Amino acid sequence: MPVYLLSDQLSFPPVRHAEPNGLLAIGGDLSVERLMLAYRSGIFPWYSEGQPILWWSPDPRFVLFPEKLRVSHSMRQVINSSRFRATFDRDFRAVIAHCRKVKRREQGDTWITQEMLDAYCRLHEAGYAHSVEVWEDEKLAGGLYGVAMGGCFCGESMFTLSPNASKFALVALARGLHERHFRLIDCQVYTNHLESMGAEAIPREEFILKLKGALRPKSSMDSSA
């Protein structure tokens, strides 16, 4: 299938036209409007420094249903120890800046370019992007960030400076979202870390249906609520 070249028009091709590896389109911009259209369509940006903006919709899709969160016995001990505490949206820029330093997805360099960092800070200012901060002795020990819309949270990246801090962030996020009646957390692609905590792969077609269903209710994290 061809990879679509985006124009200035605010639109994306149907996700069923994505390449087998999930690549759907190239180009466009990282405006708040285009990013939110992408997320609502089951699409996300992922590219490295020096590349054009690449838009993806992989099949299968890796997701975590908040009610299916799996917390190990050892992790429960960490939670009960009061070693960490979590906050929400206290320091979004610090979280994404730390995530930028982490090498992920088998790439030699970070995929969070300065352009991406600035774009997600704008999303945060608009009320769509959110962070979880994990603190240990009043120092930032880990965290994660992503995009909330309706009853879906699209996780983007996480980091840890202390063992188990990123897991603690995910537990805090999933429990918080479950309390707010979110239906799913989009983890995008497979990792052992997320699978161990209950994430699972589902067909993209099923993901899109669940995403559409999750977009109907408005949540307290969503700026459109």
pLDDT digits (tens, 9 = 90+) for 158-171: 999 999 999 999 99
Q: Mind listing the domains of the chain with CATH numbers?
A: 4-56 (3.30.70.3550), 61-215 (3.40.630.70)
Q: Write out the E strands in the chain.
A: 4-6, 23-27, 44-45, 54-56, 61-64, 85-88, 129-136, 139-149, 152-160, 184-188, 200-202
Instruction: Annotate 107-132 with b (16+ C-beta within 10 A) or e (fewer).
Output: eeebbbbeebbebbbebbeeebbbbb
- For residue 111, the model assigns a pLDDT of 81
CA distance 169 to 43: 24
Sign of CA dihedral 214, 169, 126, 56: negative
pTM: 0.92
Residue 107 has pLDDT above 80, yes or no: no
- For residue 67, the model assigns a pLDDT of 97
pLDDT digits (tens, 9 = 90+) for 29-69: 999 999 999 999 999 999 999 999 999 999 999 999 999 99
Residue 135 has pLDDT above 70, yes or no: yes
